[in-house]
Structure 1
């Protein structure tokens, strides 16, 4: 039914649990996994003429965000390897994470987007996460929204 599943993460504990559930789902479906971390784009300081010496360059920022992305995606990669699921990891840059998720799913021909109902920026259990909500409204691909019953570690 599904051959390639896009699993997103923002690096939060909730997102890591969701990603592991996504890998289990992929194993049940016999699908490959494309793990995605979307990092914010580089932001220039307000006064570009006066850049503080401690402010990272665009290249330093990109390298740091790729390292962070690799750390966040490594948990998905390890879960996939343990489950015997083929997994590719990808770090992308965009200020609109939801639109980048939809774009990557289209470009990489994913059959399903698997993501959490809430990530780092949710208001507890009050509302569906804003990124998830935007993905649902901008894609024609099926989206499986995973919801944790209780917070990790409780």
Structure 2
């Protein structure tokens, strides 16, 4: 049914559990896995005309975020490899993670976006899960939201 599944991660405990469930789902489908980590765009300090010495240069920031992306997508890649699935990982940069997720899914012809949710209701739902809600409202692709009933241990 699905040939290529985009599994998103932000490195949180929720997204780590979601990633495990995503790979298991992909294995059941026999689908390829693409892991995605979206880092914030580099922000120049706007309050000064000269970049302070302690502020990272853009190149340093990009290198650090690429390493961070590899750390966060690494477990997904290892799990997909162990499951015998074709797999790849992408670290992307954007100020709006939701829009970048939709863009990457389209660009790489993913059939499904697999994302996590904290499973909160009421006011908690309003405060969290905004990325998932934005993805749901900006894509025509199917989005499977893996809902955690209980917060994972840190």
- TM superposition score normalised by structure 2: 0.93
Looking at structure 1, the residues matched to 33 and 107 of structure 2 have their Cα atoms a distance apart, in angstroms, of: 14
Looking at structure 1, the residues matched to 6 and 54 of structure 2 have their Cα atoms a distance apart, in angstroms, of: 36
Asked if structure 1 preserves the Cα contact closer than 8 Å seen for 2:10 and 2:38, the reply is yes
Equivalence for 1:108: 108
Equivalence for 1:82: 82
Indicate yes or no: 2:22 matched with 1:22.
yes
Equivalence for 2:60: 60
Asked if structure 1 preserves the Cα contact closer than 8 Å seen for 2:118 and 2:151, the reply is no
Asked if structure 2 preserves the Cα contact closer than 8 Å seen for 1:113 and 1:144, the reply is yes
Q: How many residues align?
A: 152
Equivalence for 1:126: 124
Change (3 A) 1:15 1:125: farther
The runs of 4+ residues in structure 1 deviating greater than 3 Å are 122-125
Give the secondary structure class of the aligned counterpart of 2:124.
Answer: coil
TM superposition shift of 1:124: 9.9
Asked if structure 1 preserves the Cα contact closer than 8 Å seen for 2:14 and 2:117, the reply is no
RMSD: 2.0
Change (3 A) 1:151 1:91: same
Indicate yes or no: 2:146 matched with 1:146.
yes
Looking at structure 1, the residues matched to 115 and 55 of structure 2 have their Cα atoms a distance apart, in angstroms, of: 33
Asked if structure 2 preserves the Cα contact closer than 8 Å seen for 1:118 and 1:132, the reply is no
Equivalence for 1:34: 34
Give the secondary structure class of the aligned counterpart of 2:18.
Answer: helix
Equivalence for 1:9: 9
Q: What do residues 63-93 of structure 1 show as CA deviations (whole Å, max 9, x unaligned)?
A: 0000000000001111111211111000000
